[in-house]
Amino acid sequence: MKESRVGSAIPAGEFTIVPLETLSVERAGKGRGWWFLAVRRPVGVVIHSGQGARAMDISGNAMPLGECLEEFRGLKDLLDSLSGPGEERDSIQTG
């Protein structure tokens, strides 16, 4: 099983950092013996501010925010909740 997940938002001054990660779980068994392996790997972060949001991988390279919104369930709702009442939804940059 492999799952793309959104971590807990981290407020940092005027910015909010949202970690993106994958969780992989493997298991196998034979007879009475079973093993499980779970690995959580960082993928990148989304940085949100009053000027919009940008996604970066763990190396600091830009990632397409639109693809992140599709892959990471709940990211869009989280970013919408971070936008202030006067902030247009279109300010979240998807490029």
Phi, then psi, of 14 in degrees rounded to 5: -85, 0
Whether residue 21 contacts residue 43, with contact meaning beta carbons closer than 8 Å, is answered with yes
pTM over 0.85: no
Burial pattern 37-50, b for ≥16 Cβ within 10 A else e, equals eeeeeebbbbebee
Q: How far apart are CA 27 and CA 18, in angstroms?
A: 29
Q: What is the pLDDT of residues 43-92, one digit of tens each?
A: 999 999 988 999 999 999 999 999 999 999 999 999 999 876 555 444 44
Q: Where are the domains of the chain?
A: 2-27+35-83
Detail the DSSP E strand segments found in 1-95: 2-6, 10-12, 15-30, 33-49, 52-57, 62-63
